[in-house]
């Protein structure tokens, strides 16, 4: 007689092909799918799918607009509570990227009860709930289904004044790109899974993944931010490309000034690069060029799909250094990622 599997010892990431934002469809695939879709024209819908915004924004009055977003994915590590925190932080980030404040969230749950005990799901939900509470929002319910692999995330509703809404377009020539978190989560997670990430580096990774972008937005509010987005599944190069395209400008990325998570350059050099990075490279290959020779590890990290990444802020050159210092004063590992300039073929990204 065969013995039943021990579901209490099964890893959360067992049989997961891609976890976190690395599981998302690629940019080219999304563009193809969404290109033929259209709904009713509504002047109150002031942000939608046209420029791959982080969330939809619907204007209620001159002083109030609703932000609506949804984000979910399979586990990217085995601790259920931490997974719940990361998934929630990632979903909440879209509201911050639009300049808003989260007010309530709904759970989205797919869970294989035949493979894992409900205590695992309970911990996932607790992690998400604690992160929603930290954001000052309320958890208002949700929806759950049986599925072949675990998936968790949130639908988040936020509020913003229309005049204070941020979008990924609207940047001006000469704007400096400020990144509020280090990059390399996809590479670091692969190293963690392969037991190649040192303990200190692993701790910094988790801190980055679970960290909210609320402080970054609060600091940015004291400056004139011309455009904003958060860096997630398309990688830094992909999200810079989207901002440049939406703003009608050309972007330059300085690989030497960007903050990277500890250990990721070495890991990328050793081949710890997630499949999603290769997908991003293929999707954006027609738009990214190199001004000088750039080491392959740096290239891979530009395309590395980020989970719960930082905000990417376009700010005038006259305010950039002050903003950078203000972010660092709050303990954020902020850095200058590059700039936006005028040029032929808007939407192109030049890397050096």
Cα–Cα distance for residue pair 305/186, rounded to 1 Å: 6
Given the residues 21, 44, 110, 256, the one annotated as active site:
21
**Residue in 292, 304, 290, 340 with CA at minimum distance from that of residue 178:** 340
Cα–Cα distance for residue pair 231/302, rounded to 1 Å: 11
Active site residue 21: yes
Cα–Cα distance for residue pair 326/291, rounded to 1 Å: 31
Cα–Cα distance for residue pair 14/149, rounded to 1 Å: 9
Cα–Cα distance for residue pair 21/186, rounded to 1 Å: 9
Give the three-class secondary structure for 296.
helix
What does the DSSP assignment read for 113-156?
Answer: TTTS-HHHHHHHHHHHHHHHHHTT-EEEEEEEEE-SS-EEEEEE
Distance of CA 28 to the CA centre of its chain: 18
Between β-strands 56-61 and 151-160, what pairing exists: parallel, antiparallel or unpaired? unpaired
**Residue in 320, 290, 314, 315 with CA at minimum distance from that of residue 303:** 290
Residue 53 tokens, joined:
């915004």
Cα–Cα distance for residue pair 92/58, rounded to 1 Å: 17
**Contact present, 48 and 168 (Cβ < 8 Å):** no
- As to burial, measured by CB atoms within 10 angstroms (0-12 exposed, 13-18 middle, 19+ buried), residue 9 is exposed
Between β-strands 349-351 and 288-290, what pairing exists: parallel, antiparallel or unpaired? parallel
Between β-strands 64-73 and 288-290, what pairing exists: parallel, antiparallel or unpaired? unpaired
User: Tokens 């790109």 sit at which residue?
Assistant: 177
User: Tokens 């976190």 sit at which residue?
Assistant: 20
Just list the catalytic residues.
Answer: 21
């Amino acid at each position: 007689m065969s013995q039943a599997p021990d579901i209490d010892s099964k890893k959360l990431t067992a049989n997961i092909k891609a976890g976190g934002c690395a599981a998302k469809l690629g940019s080219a695939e999304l563009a193809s799918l969404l290109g033929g879709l259209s709904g009713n024209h509504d002047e109150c819908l002031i942000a939608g799918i046209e420029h791959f915004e982080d969330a939809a924004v619907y204007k209620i009055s001159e002083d109030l607009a609703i932000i609506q977003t949804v984000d979910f994915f399979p586990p990217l590590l085995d601790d259920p509570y931490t997974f719940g925190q990361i998934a929630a932080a990632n979903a909440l980030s879209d509201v911050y990227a639009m300049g808003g404040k989260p007010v309530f969230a709904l759970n989205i749950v797919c869970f294989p009860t035949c493979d894992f005990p409900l205590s695992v799901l309970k911990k996932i939900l607790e992690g998400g709930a604690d992160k929603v509470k930290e954001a000052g929002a309320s958890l208002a319910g949700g929806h759950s289904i049986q599925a072949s692999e675990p998936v968790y995330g949130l639908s988040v509703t936020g509020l913003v004044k229309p005049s204070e809404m941020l979008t990924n377009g609207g940047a001006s020539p000469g704007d400096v790109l400020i990144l509020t978190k280090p990059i390399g989560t996809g590479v670091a997670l692969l190293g963690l899974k392969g037991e190649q990430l040192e303990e200190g580096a692993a701790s910094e990774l988790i801190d980055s993944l679970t960290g909210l972008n609320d402080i970054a937005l609060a600091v940015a509010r004291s400056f004139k931010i011309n455009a904003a987005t958060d860096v997630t599944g398309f990688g830094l190069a992909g999200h810079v490309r989207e901002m440049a395209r939406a703003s009608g400008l050309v972007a330059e990325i300085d690989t030497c000034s960007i903050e990277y998570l500890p250990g990721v350059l070495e890991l990328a050099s050793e081949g710890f690069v997630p499949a999603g990075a290769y997908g991003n490279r293929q999707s954006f290959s027609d738009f990214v060029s190199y001004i000088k020779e750039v080491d392959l590890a740096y290239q891979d990290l530009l395309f590395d799909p980020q989970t719960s990444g930082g905000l990417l802020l376009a700010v005038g050159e006259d305010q950039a250094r002050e903003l950078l210092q203000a972010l660092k004063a709050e303990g954020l590992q902020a850095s200058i990622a590059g700039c936006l300039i005028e040029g032929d073929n808007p939407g192109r990204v030049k890397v050096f």
